Chains A and B, each alone.
Chain A
Amino acid sequence: MIRKDTLLSWPMIAFMVLFFISPLLLLAGISLRGEDGSWGLGNFAAFLSDPFALGVLTGTLGLGAKVTAFASLAALPLVMLYWHSGKRMRSVILICTLLPMLTANVVRTFAWVVLLGRNGPISQTIFGLGLSDRPFSLLFSETGLIIALVQIELPLLLLPVFAVLNRADRKTLEAAEVLGAGRWRAWFSAIFPQIIPAVLAGWVLVFASATTSYVTQSVIGGARLIYLPQYVYREVGVLFQWPMAAAISILLLASTGVIMLCLTMLARHERLQGHA
């Protein structure tokens, strides 16, 4: 028997099964196909027992973690500024945050190519100030990649936090102040817990897009920094090793999935329940 009230969700469920679940299952199926035509976990074993491939995997997860960490550091002053701003200033900050999102990821990536290059403003300024003895390029370096990814993914962290700040309970902050807490302690005990679920959601988004941002990784990172998306692309497009590519995709999905699951579980912690 089909309950009437679930009827409306059926087209969506059918859509998900047809265009998301079934391709995913197919991908999982392909990943189990060995080079000699046998079934099994051979591709996974081959990947995981290859130190080079494992390095790529940990490098990818590490990149996600670093981008998430630096995006959080970059977000903190903006969040503070947003919190202390009036209505009009908040709109300005919000627009400035949203505006880059209206530009394609590829465009933003190429903008960073210009900025990070040897003749770009960053290098030229530091060289001009005499802080470096010759112009340098941040392209093809992890530092440059992290800088670009932080800027590109930052809105994903800021927007959920701003949304929560807009309806944050100021009374708790006042309560903390009346109880003698200093400005920072009051903010961290009253407002910060309220934004934690949004921060966790933002982390999930930033981490997932940083680890999978093929374009930025390959254009700014170059060929000497290989991450899983490029690795998968190479298996598919250059080596035509699809079962292996499928296995790597499943591993990427699984490892980012595990990290997201951990963050989601963290958000379910009893201490955060009141704010969820």
Chain B
Amino acid sequence: MMSDTGLHIRNVDHSYGDKQVLHDVSFDVPDGKVVALLGPSGCGKSTILRAIAGLITPDRGTISLAGCDLTRVQVRNRKLGMVFQNFALFSHMTVAENIAYGLAHLPKTERKARVERLLELVRLMPFADRFPPSLSGGQQQRVAVARALATDPAALLMDEPFGALDRALRAELQAELVRMQDDVGITTVMVTHDQEEAQAVAGQLVVMNDGRVEQVGTPEEIYDRPASLFVNGFIGHANQVAATVTGPGGLRTADGTEIAMNRAVNFIPGAPVTVTSRPEHLTLSTRIHPGAMQARFDRAVVMGQFLTIDATLADGTAVKAQVLRDDGPRPEKGEAVWLSPDTSRLHVFPANTNGA
């Protein structure tokens, strides 16, 4: 269903030469919301952003904004704002001239007023007459955002907007972007490879891999109910253990541990599967337990109130567990330990080799 507000991407395919880089990509960005396109490099997330901007014309599919089909509209007529990875500022123009670039059609006084409003919004008033190369990375990024917002665009596109900045600055500017987004309330698509950044800024994530949309959802949905083994592994850490289905709710891991799920799994008995668990959903014991996997203890690292434990299963699979530091056992290196998964939080995926 195509609603008449927000940004809608439908069945977009695209190829560069013989190589298809987008496969039937579809997702929606509700009006005024921020969506992050997340995925490893080369997954096609920047390509889809460029297709939205009109910098490429996709082979197939439609892109519509507020009920208008953009697919055949020229780049310059799409009235979108875009922030580029390295900001792509005009370095021969002052900050004010950069921001005014898209406002050539406005009368001079109006243009000036608008530039001043944006300089205030991004807190760059004192830098209006400076040239971009003399600004810090963070300041340049804010100029890029102001320039993109100056035209009052129908949507804002951002390609790795924080990628060129150092870590400390990134968190600060992410918070600032959220503040500005609250003020302006503009429909935004952001491309990033950094899941923390995506979660910090966006209400909705689109996880992409190999030119395909793997899952669309809120950060919570994606973390708790990953649609694929790739998503499971890409967002947060997932321990992956090879197993075989033994019955409607039963699995046997490669080292023979029988796991009884509290729900039925959709696999026929005998099917090879990969069963995953988050580190925080494993409990550690130094004694044998039914349904627990035996492992060799490697080391433990203190992380605040938690201990992050590295252990190795009999078949060599590395496993991470996160347990409360207090009153837990403290095994020696090489000692045998037993890890019991929270069976309600286990995910089962068809066994394959291309998981993350």
Decide if A and B touch, CB cutoff 8 A. Answer: yes
Which residues does A use to contact B, with CB under 8 Å?
169, 171-172, 174-182, 185-186, 189-190, 193, 196, 270-275
- Contact partners of A175 in chain B: CB under 8 A: 82, 84, 88-90, 147
Which residue of B is nearest A196, CB measured? B92
Given contacts A273-B133, A274-B131, contact A179 B91 (CB under 8 A): no
Closest CB in chain A relative to B90 CB, distance in Å: 6
**Cβ of B81 and Cβ of A270 under 8 Å apart?**
no
A180 to B54, CA, bound (A): 12
Given contacts A172-B90, A270-B131, A273-B131, contact A177 B76 (CB under 8 A): yes
- Contact partners of A273 in chain B: CB under 8 A: 91, 131, 133
**The 7 A-B residue pairs with the shortest CB-CB distance in the complex, in nearest-first order:** A274-B91, A179-B102, A171-B88, A175-B88, A193-B92, A274-B133, A271-B92
- Contact partners of B148 in chain A: CB under 8 A: 178-179
**Cβ of B91 and Cβ of A171 under 8 Å apart?**
no
Q: Residue among B78, B81, B88, B148 with the most chain A CB within 10 A?
A: B88
- Contact partners of B147 in chain A: CB under 8 A: 175, 179
- Contact partners of B93 in chain A: CB under 8 A: 189, 271
**Cβ of B75 and Cβ of A177 under 8 Å apart?**
yes
A58 to B147, CA, bound (A): 47
A177-B75, A193-B90, A271-B92 given; 12 more Cβ-contact pairs under 8 Å: A175-B82, A178-B76, A178-B78, A178-B81, A178-B148, A179-B151, A180-B77, A180-B102, A181-B76, A185-B104, A193-B92, A275-B91
Partner of A180, one of B79, B86, B92: B79
Closest CB in chain A relative to B150 CB, distance in Å: 8
Q: Residue among A172, A185, A193, A196 with the most chain B CB within 10 A?
A: A172
**Cβ of B80 and Cβ of A271 under 8 Å apart?**
no
**Cβ of A172 and Cβ of B101 under 8 Å apart?**
no
Question: Any chain A CB within 8 A of the CB of B85?
Answer: yes
Contact code string B250-288 (vs A, CB < 8 Å = 1, else 0): 000000000000000000000000000000000000000
Question: Any chain A CB within 8 A of the CB of B53?
Answer: yes
Closest CB in chain B relative to A34 CB, distance in Å: 50
**Cβ of A181 and Cβ of B131 under 8 Å apart?**
no
Which residues does B use to contact A, with CB under 8 Å?
53-55, 75-82, 84-86, 88-93, 101-102, 104-105, 131-133, 147-148, 151
Which residue of A is nearest B74, CB measured? A177
A169 to B87, CA, bound (A): 11
Closest CB in chain A relative to B93 CB, distance in Å: 8
Closest CB in chain B relative to A47 CB, distance in Å: 41
- Contact partners of A193 in chain B: CB under 8 A: 90-92
**Cβ of B55 and Cβ of A179 under 8 Å apart?**
no
A174 to B105, CA, bound (A): 19
A252 to B53, CA, bound (A): 54
Given contacts A180-B151, A193-B91, contact A171 B86 (CB under 8 A): yes
Which residue of B is nearest A185, CB measured? B104
**Cβ of A274 and Cβ of B75 under 8 Å apart?**
no
A193 to B131, CA, bound (A): 13
**Cβ of B92 and Cβ of A274 under 8 Å apart?**
yes
A271 to B95, CA, bound (A): 12
- Contact partners of A182 in chain B: CB under 8 A: 76
- Contact partners of A171 in chain B: CB under 8 A: 84-86, 88
- Contact partners of B77 in chain A: CB under 8 A: 180
Which residue of B is nearest A272, CB measured? B92
Closest CB in chain A relative to B74 CB, distance in Å: 8
- Contact partners of B102 in chain A: CB under 8 A: 179-181
Closest CB in chain B relative to A195 CB, distance in Å: 11
Closest CB in chain B relative to A185 CB, distance in Å: 8
Given contacts A178-B53, A180-B151, contact A275 B92 (CB under 8 A): yes
